[in-house]
Amino acid sequence: MIQSGRAVAANLPTRLRGRARSFGRRGMAVTPDSAGEDAADLRDEPPADVDRVRALSGPQQLSALADRSAAASHMARGEELTGTLRVTQEESVGREPPHSRDLRTATRQAVSDEPFCPSLFHGLRVVHVVRQFAPGVGGMEDYVRQLALQQRAAGMGVRIVTLDRIFDQPQQARLPAREWIDRLEVQRLPWWGSKRYPIAPGVLRALKDADLVHVHGVDFFCDFLAVTRGLHRKRLVLSTHGGFFHTPFAARAKRLFFHHVTRRSLRGFAAIIPSSVSDEAQFRRIRAEGLETVENGVDLAKFDGCADPAARTMIYFGRLAPNKGLDQLIGWFAEVHRQDASWRLILAGRPMGVEPDALTEQARQSGMAEAVEIHPWPGDAELRGLIGRSSVYVCASAYEGFGIAAVEAMAAGLYPVLSDIPAFRRTLARADYGTRTRFAPDPDSVAQTLAEVDAGLRAAPDADERRRRLASFGWTGAADAIGGIYLRALGRSRRRIGQVSVTVSCRREFLRRIDRCLSSPARRPLFVAFCNAHTANTAQRDPAFAAALAQALVVNDGIGIDLASSVLFGRPFQENLAGTDLVDQVLERAAGSLRIFLVGSAPGVGEQAARALRERAPRHRVVGTAHGFFTDAETPELIARIRASTPDLVLVGMGHPRQEIWCAAHHRELGAITMAVGAYLDFLAGEVRRAPYWVRRARCEWMFRLVQEPRRLARRYLIGNMRFLGRLLLQWYRGTRI
């Protein structure tokens, strides 16, 4: 791969080679020497050659050239260019990941089989901004590390920007300004102010060369980068990580801040990624659109199977924070110990508002000084040893956005006893394992919990069954979903215009997609629709129409959609994909004879269109026609007729929204490519005159149609276009891009 990368670079024009060298000097994957750092200050420096080659793929031109032949060969074989963003456990601790990775589409929209090119990910430069990172220990730190490792393995350029001191460390020594950790570049910033809202305006200088900035947590970085978006001009994505409602401290002030300041800050973000279902419900109160929940991925291999099911020790590990209910946990454990003195309790974690000495004193006052151990600041190795002495994980948390530690505990083989909160209810339901309790020191409740613990330990799933149950918590799916959000936020795979998600494609890619679908032995039904300004307006006011389009491969048609793309994503679509022209090109390009069924227009028009189509494309066969004025009661008979004719292509022209809603409801039954073609049948039959070529080329076909049918189209084009522009500006203001 290194040789092929150099060969591509060698054949580039001088201007592009200069850009590639520039990115090598300035981009995410700079080597330690080029960053001007002393090698002694660096850990796990990545191999220079590999990172230089990865850096070379950064500019879009070079990425496209480097991946063109590979993408073309996949498409020629009719293969889907899909895969997964994954990194093995060995890679996560420092080994060089494989040079080539398959990439999955990472989108959870209805059109799951859309073409997807690996070059969309390769060279994508991402900066993660998070207030705390290694050597700090915690859920957010681990989340960012795991996500960055997955993305680096997929070929992205990744840099992590964080603060230069660790909160609540006994000695807040400043950490190096730049460092490599697990082959990830880490840049640290000086800060001042409270650890609850640390101020670090130097973050603006750290965003250079980023394609996208992923902010983690609702804090100063979230607010500041949103306010300064006009200065840094970077596309922003936010992961919520539970917001800032973990503790009751200043609850009223937090609510006011959230509903006023945070609400305005979120307008600066193209996408919001809630980390849990409860997070989504909370953030939808202040931003209704542009949210897509991706529950935290968990490193399931971190402590895999290291627990001792025979041990009589309960362990809590995670942050030592007020919302974790540690005082309540100790009070509850006092009753456990009274009922069964063989049980012990371990509390391990980083102090974040709860002092270890206070916990030790509470245990002493409860008469359990010998039964409770406190381990502040444990490393992974120490924590693995503590888990190895334990059989049960206990957490009395009052609030969790997701609860990574609980899943890590289950992966280790610990039986989970968790508080009865929404996040834990969902976790235990997904794992189908564990106990919920109120952690009240009530003798009857404690006795029941201990009975459930003993039964659960006796019936614990074996290692294979445990891994199967927890597989959905792993990092692969989470990284895929986040990668897909990146591409949509940047407008590289699809672009949201109002309520419609429009696929980014050119004419050649679209026709190739249709060819693959037609030539595939396992014919998958495909619904194709076209989006213009009127389509976007209709989807805005008609939820059924918007839901129908969500099932379709939607492509851009018209100057209004190009304008919207330029406003929202900074550039127009590559080409105008007008439906009438594309249908003709599909027929012209098809390798063999196609069987075509025509549905729509007035009675008799379909037959005229069929005759015209036979003259225009004689090698294709029209196997049936049906007018578009059938009733719902007649639909089953029509579906049966179409299925009996075994068509390859069904052209549906009934005007929208009816044609799109009908196609969405029935295209799977038809088993063919179904295209919503509007007035195409009328054009074929000569019932409606189409604009001359020069008018279409000037993107003024709508004006020609308005002159032809002023009564019918005046409201659509004159009033409708103004509404479209107003909604476009509103979407731009709100920041919604997915």
303 belongs to a structural domain: no
DSSP assigned state of 341:
T
Q: Which CATH number belongs to the domain containing residue 420 in this structure?
A: 3.40.50.2000
Closest CA to 297 of 109, 481, 84: 481
Distances 509 to 270, 574, 575 between C-alpha atoms, Å: 26, 11, 11
pLDDT computed for residue 618 by the predictor: 92
Range of the domain at 331: 313-471
- Domain end (from 438, 471, 504): 471
Same domain, yes or no: 498 and 452: no
Same domain, yes or no: 269 and 400: no
654 belongs to a structural domain: yes
692 belongs to a structural domain: yes
Helix, coil or strand: residue 115: coil
**Rounded Cα–Cα distance for residues 619 and 45 (Å):** 62
18 belongs to a structural domain: no
202 belongs to a structural domain: yes
pLDDT computed for residue 247 by the predictor: 65
Same domain, yes or no: 459 and 499: no
Same domain, yes or no: 545 and 500: yes
Q: What are phi and psi of 462, to 5 degrees?
A: -75, 175
pLDDT computed for residue 104 by the predictor: 33
300 belongs to a structural domain: no
Distances 710 to 149, 535, 705 between C-alpha atoms, Å: 58, 19, 8
**Rounded Cα–Cα distance for residues 332 and 417 (Å):** 12
DSSP assigned state of 500:
E
Same domain, yes or no: 256 and 108: yes
* DSSP-H helix ranges across 205-325: 220-227, 229-232, 251-257, 263-265, 277-283
Q: Which residues of the chain have pLDDT under 70?
A: 1-119, 170-171, 245-248
pLDDT computed for residue 710 by the predictor: 86
Same domain, yes or no: 500 and 434: no
**Rounded Cα–Cα distance for residues 168 and 185 (Å):** 24
Distances 468 to 303, 426, 722 between C-alpha atoms, Å: 16, 17, 54
Tokens for 472, please give them.
């959905």
pLDDT computed for residue 72 by the predictor: 37
Same domain, yes or no: 538 and 598: yes
CB atoms within 10 A of CB 630: 14
Same domain, yes or no: 278 and 140: yes
Same domain, yes or no: 575 and 545: yes
86 belongs to a structural domain: yes
Cross-strand bridge partners of residue 557: none
Same domain, yes or no: 93 and 206: yes
In sign, the C-alpha dihedral spanning 29, 126, 81, 505 is: negative
pLDDT computed for residue 652 by the predictor: 97
Cross-strand bridge partners of residue 416: 393
Helix, coil or strand: residue 385: helix
Closest CA to 583 of 573, 570, 594: 594
pTM of the predicted model as reported, rounded to 2 decimal places? 0.76
Same domain, yes or no: 589 and 553: yes
Cross-strand bridge partners of residue 239: 216, 273
- How many structural domains does the chain have? 3
Q: Which CATH number belongs to the domain containing residue 601 in this structure?
A: 3.40.50.2300
Same domain, yes or no: 189 and 152: yes
Q: Which CATH number belongs to the domain containing residue 127 in this structure?
A: 3.40.50
pLDDT computed for residue 94 by the predictor: 35
391 belongs to a structural domain: yes
**Rounded Cα–Cα distance for residues 643 and 635 (Å):** 12
